A and B are shown apart, each in its own frame.
Chain A
Amino acid sequence: MIVGERKPMEEIEAMIDPFEKIIVLGCRECVTVCSAGGEKEVGILSAALRLSREQNGRSIEIKEFTLERQCDHEYIEQIRSMVPNYQAILSMACGAGVQFVAESYPEIPVLPAINTNFIGVTEEQGYWTERCQACGNCVLHLTGGICPIARCSKSLLNGPCGGSSEGKCEVNKEIVCGWQLIIERLKSLGQLDRYEEYIPIKDWSTSRDGGPRKVVREDLRL
């Protein structure tokens, strides 16, 4: 899922400084799973913002609300009647959600309470790591199910480089060398001879480098 993390309080408080009445809007999908912007996090952030304002002699009225998702119009519509009563929406969804809410309510500032980090997985509770770079051209079948674009710090398609040490990336000992993982996986699949297959230069035009992307399914359009 998409993994993000709440911005520092100082940054959030600066963003909402001009406002006295805001909606803090959570999302029940990815940001709930990574405990960044679900219903509970909406409660915690709102309590912290109220305490902070009140101790500075100011007040703030916060409407706490959590949508199923912020990336589908139908759910965003659910707050239409309450929006006119507030001055800003502080969204705890990922960047896509924040933008989509802003598109539906262009007359009111929609602010990001979290930093969206990556597409990743829950290795264990409280520990999320990156797995996918959304390059638009998946090669997982060639590398034993481990992504060289996302998990190698240099996105090498014919790795590893000479900098890994005891299976850890030269960038940071906490990062496992992606190519070490690929080689071990190829071994356990009995496919180590695949290692010598040359993977040609990637067509990056299917990734963000080619410009903002879209997917269209005419058969599904109403």
Chain B
Amino acid sequence: MKSASRLEKVLEKGEFAVTSECGPPRGADAEVIRRKGELLKGAVDAVNVTDNQTSVVRMSSAASCFILKEMGLDPVLQMVTRDRNRIAIQSDILGAAAVGVNNILCLSGDHQVFGDHPKAKNVYDMDSIQLIHTVKTMRDEGKFIEGEEIKPPPKLFIGAACNPFADPFEIRVPRLAKKVAAGVDFIQTQCIYNLDKFEEWMKGVRDRGLHEKVYILAGVTPMKSVGMAKYMKNMVPGMDVPDEIIERLKGVPKEKRAEEGIKICIETIQRLKEIEGVSGVHVMAIEWEEKVPEIVKGAGLYPRPQV
């Protein structure tokens, strides 16, 4: 075991893992996080906390992870390289490990132009792959980037994101290979609607034996409405939403669409369970966290295993 992470234990045991996500508030209220934590407790193995997602200032991921930890959940600290240099990054990693956070998700982060502070200086002292490498070096070699000893080293289960649907498609498997070579333990993918394309990517992953070197958690997001589906199709870069999904939602009356969206999500999970190399699912239901237990149950993944 590389860390004390529950997620790691579940995956090591060969169980199909379930993770979810919650977004911190734009204020200093810990209760918001606690409420979301309560909704997810028992239904998932680990909970990601986003890090100033889309460059919009929110309560820090680190503080939110600490609050979830106190509640008995296993948080995943999402860390972007957009806002911090290597000094702050290594410092935050030590801090997270010290308060008992066991998982970290290494990301570059959306450019600040998307958020509420587009005039900010961006940092990007390192990229996501260099961050994976940094955490691995700190954990396994007990050394900072410049080589000095860390006493004691942080024990973190290292994650990263992968987007099988982004451009250019031809390097999406090599990109995963790069992250694996840098030392990543698990990855969570961008939410999947186009299962055929995802299966194509997974075939490439299996051909290179990568599925045996890293745990892959497939991302899913339930659609609330036709509007949401259209928005995600057209306005979110790197998102592949087939027209069939939109047509299927249109085919039911308006008040039934959210329910249909949940159904589609559950069906997707069931299909994902059958794909060789997929070790779990990452349910992203931002601001709809109350539906996660229903989705997990509907997909036959409840209760979560004892580890």
> Are B237 and A158 within 8 A (Cβ)?
no
The residues in B between 26 and 59 inclusive whose CB is less than 8 angstroms from any CB of A are none
B-chain residues with CB within 8 Å of residue A202 when the two chains form the complex: 125-126
CB A185 to nearest CB in B, in angstroms, measures: 12
> Are A177 and B111 within 8 A (Cβ)?
no
CB B110 to nearest CB in A, in angstroms, measures: 7
B150 at the interface (CB under 8 A from A): no
Q: How large is the interface on A (under 10, 10 to 19, 20 to 34, 35 or more residues)?
A: 20 to 34
A-chain residues with CB within 8 Å of residue B124 when the two chains form the complex: 154-156
B-chain residues with CB within 8 Å of residue A204 when the two chains form the complex: 125
B238 at the interface (CB under 8 A from A): yes
> Are B177 and A196 within 8 A (Cβ)?
yes
Known interface pairs A158-B129, A198-B181; A166-B167 also in contact (CB < 8 Å)? yes
* Bound: A164/B111 CA distance, A: 11
Known interface pairs A162-B190, A163-B238; A154-B130 also in contact (CB < 8 Å)? no
A115 at the interface (CB under 8 A from B): no
B133 at the interface (CB under 8 A from A): yes
* Bound: A166/B111 CA distance, A: 18
CB B90 to nearest CB in A, in angstroms, measures: 11
> Are A162 and B174 within 8 A (Cβ)?
no
* Bound: A166/B169 CA distance, A: 10
CB A42 to nearest CB in B, in angstroms, measures: 32
A-chain residues with CB within 8 Å of residue B181 when the two chains form the complex: 196, 198
> Are B127 and A154 within 8 A (Cβ)?
yes
Nearest-neighbor residue (CB-CB) of A149 within chain B:
B124
Size of chain B's interface in residues, with CB distance under 8 A?
A: 35
* Bound: A198/B108 CA distance, A: 16
> Are B168 and A180 within 8 A (Cβ)?
yes
Mark each residue of chain B from 72 to 113: 1 if its CB lies under 8 Å from any CB of chain A, else 0: 000000000010001000000000000000000000111101
Binds B, one of A14-22, A73-81, A94-102, A167-175: A167-175
> Are B163 and A162 within 8 A (Cβ)?
yes
Looking at B130, B161, B170, the one whose CB has the most chain A CB atoms below 10 A away is: B130
B171 at the interface (CB under 8 A from A): yes
A12 at the interface (CB under 8 A from B): no
* Bound: A141/B162 CA distance, A: 27
* Bound: A193/B145 CA distance, A: 27
> Are A157 and B111 within 8 A (Cβ)?
no
Mark each residue of chain A from 23 to 40: 1 if its CB lies under 8 Å from any CB of chain B, else 0: 000000000000000000
* Bound: A157/B181 CA distance, A: 15
> Are A183 and B168 within 8 A (Cβ)?
yes
A-chain residues with CB within 8 Å of residue B162 when the two chains form the complex: 162
Contact of B145 among A158, A183, A196, A201 (CB under 8 A): A201
Contact of B174 among A161, A172, A196 (CB under 8 A): A196
The chain A residues found within 8 Å of chain B, CB to CB, are 153-167, 170-172, 177, 180, 183, 195-196, 198, 200-202, 204
Complex A-B, nearest 3 residue pairs according to Cβ-Cβ distance, in ascending order: A162-B163, A158-B129, A165-B237
